[in-house]
């Protein structure tokens, strides 16, 4: 190669390298300017959106999806010494009386999976579900456990899975929040820490929608404020904050506030339409149980979830039993009869509606609580008559997934013969989060954010995929 060719090659290299670095810098600047701009997935996604059905309080897996014949033989006896009991506030270190289920279990669908008579309508959908019977977690109380199921940690301060999803993928609809939370009558244990952005930029936190009146407080401007006047106000605020940002770079709260103002401005037209159910047919309303006082509230939220993912919302969390409604230390029969009745029809309706609209193949549906319940009673329960109950059980419980990328009609893993601990293919909360992110096209090992000098990720220092679940 002659000297002139070498110089030309060097110039070409430097030009190409410079252009590449410039493009990287531009991409970084654009991301800073538009943090919710759509981002490329790590691999081909199976799901575009997630609907997480959160049964707060801890539904009893051994009364719903995980039958244990051994309980019938051992009922009334103290927990055998071979089953090591944890020390909790309810049990102390004492062995507690085992309690058999009063439910009738039957096999359903072509898969023959077992479902109790508390969930007759969900049973008709069983071939769509991958039932994970071997989940486990770390928390003992509701606040820490609800938080861990949302953020991966029992302690406050970490980003929720919905925030990580938005951080990794951006928004698919610029006129609606990318991450939405729907609750029922009471306050979720731990409150907004469950849909917080943690140490991620505040733009990625969840938005709680109201069920009545304006979907978001103070969304509509006063009647005397025209669109032109409001736009001028936002432009002035943007300029003032940009000037402030030049003096104090790195204050993401200010950027997040401006992003929320701009999103609020765009949502004034989109959000009311998204939550307007007036154009839904009577057939659809009945499908979700909205014609029944018992199921209307949760059914409405499930229908709203469908409408939101239909419009490009990435992550929708729908609570059933906010404030630990499923928590049945005593009166389990009365408690679970109520909450299964509340949730059965709406969930089955949601799955059917998503499928009929072609949305189930691109929407991941997740069901579960913060933990399950023990096969034995505790000191808050008489263990006799209608008042028997079960304690918290994070050592082994059931969750299920359906929809995009999920191989339905199967049970994954197992608890021991009395349903206490996960013993076969145990999967931690971090494994569940890793699998959800994978189905969204995100590798949980590569989805990181630099915080205090450390590359943090959603699954902290753990997390593995649930390979049996992925179709």
Residues 177-229 pLDDT 10s: 999 999 998 999 999 999 999 999 989 999 998 766 666 655 556 666 566 66
Based on its alpha-carbon atoms, the radius of gyration of the chain, rounded to whole angstroms, reads 25
HEC states along 186-234?
CCCCCHHHHHCCCCCCHHHCCEECCCCCCCCCCCCCCCCCCHHHHHHHH
User: What is the dihedral sign for C-alpha 122, 125, 130, 131?
Assistant: positive
HSE, side-chain direction, 13 A CA sphere, residue 225 = 11
- In the predicted model, what is the mean pLDDT of residues 441-463? 97
Cβ neighbours, 10 Å, residue 114? 18
pLDDT at 272: 78
CA gap 20, 17 in Å, rounded = 5
Phi/psi for 234 (5° steps) reads -65, -40
Of the pLDDT bands very low, low, confident and very high (cuts 50, 70, 90), residue 18 is very low
Can you say whether residue 55 is alpha, beta or left, with left for phi > 0 and alpha for psi between -120 and 50 degrees? beta
What are the phi and psi torsion angles at 133 (to 5°)? -90, 0
198: left (phi over 0), alpha (psi -120 to 50) or beta: left
CA pair distance 296, 212, nearest whole angstrom: 13
Tokens of 397: 């419980």
Backbone φ and ψ for 422, nearest 5 degrees, come out as: -75, 120
Confidence of residue 25 (pLDDT cuts 50, 70, 90): very low
Using alpha carbons only, what angle is made at residue 358 by residues 123 and 432, rounded to the nearest 5 degrees? 60
Task: Measure the CA–CA gap between 117 and 288, rounded to whole angstroms.
Answer: 19
Structural class in CATH, domain 37-215+281-457? alpha beta
**388-422 tens-digit pLDDT:** 899 999 999 999 999 999 999 999 999 999 999 99
- For residues 118 and 133, the answer to whether their CB atoms sit within 8 Å is no
| pLDDT the model gives residue 96 | 83
**The tokens of 458 are what?**
């959603």
Compute the mean pLDDT over every residue in the chain, rounded to the nearest whole number: 86
Under a CB-based contact definition with an 8 Å cutoff, are residues 230 and 265 in contact?
yes
Give the pLDDT score at 137: 98
Pairing of strands 49-55, 372-373: unpaired
Phi, psi of 19 (to 5 degrees): -65, -40
413: left (phi over 0), alpha (psi -120 to 50) or beta: left
Lowest average pLDDT, out of 138-142, 299-303, 383-387, goes to 383-387
d(CA 33, CA 71): 59
CA distance 158 to 298: 28
- Whether 325 has a pLDDT exceeding 50, the answer reads yes
Would the pLDDT of 128 be above 90?
yes
Structure tokens at 339: 């909450």
3-state secondary structure (DSSP) of residue 133: strand
Check pLDDT > 80 for residue 283: yes
The H-assigned helical ranges of 47-127 are 69-74, 120-123
CA 214 to chain centre: 24
Neighbours of 224 (CB within 10 A): 6
pTM: 0.85
Q: Give the residue with greater pLDDT, 1 vs 360.
A: 360
At CA 131, angle to CA 133 and CA 55, rounded to 5? 85
């Amino acid at each position: 190669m002659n000297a002139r060719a070498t110089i030309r090659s060097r110039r070409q290299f430097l030009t190409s390298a410079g252009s590449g670095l410039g493009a990287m810098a531009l991409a970084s600047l654009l991301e800073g300017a538009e943090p919710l701009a759509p981002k490329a997935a790590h691999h081909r996604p199976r799901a575009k959106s997630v609907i997480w059905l959160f049964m707060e309080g801890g539904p009893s897996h051994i009364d719903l999806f995980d039958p244990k014949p051994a309980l019938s033989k051992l009922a009334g006896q103290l927990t055998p010494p071979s089953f090591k009991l944890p020390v909790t506030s309810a049990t102390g270190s004492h062995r507690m009386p085992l309690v058999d289920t009063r439910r009738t279990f039957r096999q359903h669908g072509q898969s023959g999976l077992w479902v109790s008579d508390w969930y007759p309508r969900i049973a008709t959908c069983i071939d769509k579900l991958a039932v994970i019977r071997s989940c486990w977690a770390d928390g003992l109380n509701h606040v820490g456990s609800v938080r861990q199921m949302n953020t991966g940690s029992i302690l406050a301060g970490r980003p929720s899975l919905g925030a990580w999803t938005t951080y990794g993928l951006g928004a698919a609809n610029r006129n609606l929040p990318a991450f939405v939370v729907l609750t029922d009558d009471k306050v979720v244990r731990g409150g907004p820490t469950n849909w917080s952005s943690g140490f991620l930029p505040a733009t990625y936190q969840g938005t709680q929608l109201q069920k009545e009146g304006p979907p978001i407080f103070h969304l509509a401007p006063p009647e005397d404020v025209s669109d032109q006047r409001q736009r001028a106000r936002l432009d002035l605020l943007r300029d003032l904050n940009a000037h402030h940002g030049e003096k104090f770079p790195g204050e993401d709260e200010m950027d997040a506030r401006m992003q929320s103002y701009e999103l609020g401005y765009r949502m004034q037209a989109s959000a009311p339409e998204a939550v307007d159910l007036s154009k839904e047919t009577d057939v659809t309303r009945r499908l979700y149980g909205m014609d029944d006082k018992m199921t209307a509230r949760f059914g409405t939220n499930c229908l709203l979830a469908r409408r939101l993912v239909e419009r490009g919302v990435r992550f929708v969390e729908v609570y059933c039993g906010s404030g630990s409604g499923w928590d049945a230390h005593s009166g389990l029969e009365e408690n679970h009869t109520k909450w299964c009745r509340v949730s059965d029809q709406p969930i089955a309706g949601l799955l059917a509606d998503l499928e009929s609209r072609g949305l189930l193949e691109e929407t991941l549906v997740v069901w579960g609580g913060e933990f399950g319940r023990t096969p034995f009673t505790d000191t808050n329960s008489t263990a006799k008559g209608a008042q028997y109950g079960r304690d918290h059980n994070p050592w082994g419980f059931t969750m299920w997934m359906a929809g995009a990328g999920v191989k339905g009609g199967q049970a994954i893993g197992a608890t021991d013969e009395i349903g206490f601990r996960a013993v076969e293919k145990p999967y931690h909360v971090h494994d569940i989060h890793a699998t959800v992110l994978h189905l969204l096209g995100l590798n949980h090992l590569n989805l990181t954010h630099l915080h205090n000098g450390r590359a943090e990720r959603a699954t902290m220092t753990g997390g593995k995929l649930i390979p049996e679940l992925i179709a």
